[in-house]
Amino acid sequence: MANEIGDARIRLPEQIRKGEVITVHAIVSHPMDTGFFRTREGDAIPAYFIKDVVITYGDAEVARFEWTSGVSRDPMVTFSLRADREAPLTIVWTDNKGGVYRQSANVAFATA
């Protein structure tokens, strides 16, 4: 994996019409270690995973996800959003060691 822990991307549709329900794709680089694996040398790999994802649209929190280490490495998620105004969509991922990773994308409407 070339990316560093916490590198994150949000993908929105290229053309958004006001009021439509869009699909948002989000991915963050993270090992999502369960704590159940060991290294080749036999040392336990401690649990290290994203546990909290907060999605904010403009000033409003629109969704919040609680995750365990059962979500796959480099966790991706897609969800819907009703694009009823032009505003930034911000996602904040927090891991169990206090790491906080943030990414934003602008919901902007296609000009006619």
60 lies in the binding site for other proteins (CB under 8 A): yes
Touching other proteins, residues 7-36 (CB under 8 A): 21, 23, 34, 36
- For the four alpha carbons of 104, 15, 26 and 63, in that order, the dihedral sign comes to positive
Residue 62 in contact with other proteins, rule: CB under 8 A:
yes
Site for other proteins in 32-51 (CB under 8 A): 34, 36-37
Place of tokens 């296609």: 110
State yes or no: residue 2 binds other proteins (CB under 8 A): no
Burial 60-93 (b: 16+ CB within 10 A, else e): eeeeebebebebeebbebeeebebeeeeebbbbb
Provide the minimum distance between the beta carbon of 50 and other proteins in the complex, in angstroms, as a whole number.
10
CA angle 26-35-67, nearest 5°? 30
**Separation in Å, CA 1 to CA 28, 39, 73:** 12, 18, 10
Contact residue for other proteins among 29, 30, 57, 93 (CB under 8 A)? 57
HSE-CB of 89 using CA atoms within 13 angstroms? 26
Q: Does 76 bind other proteins (CB under 8 A)?
A: yes
Instruction: Please report whether residue 61 would count as binding other proteins according to CB under 8 A.
Output: yes
Judged by CB under 8 A, the chain residues 79 through 98 that form the site for other proteins are: 79-82, 84
What residues line the site for other proteins (CB under 8 A)? 21, 23, 34, 36-37, 57, 60-73, 75-82, 84
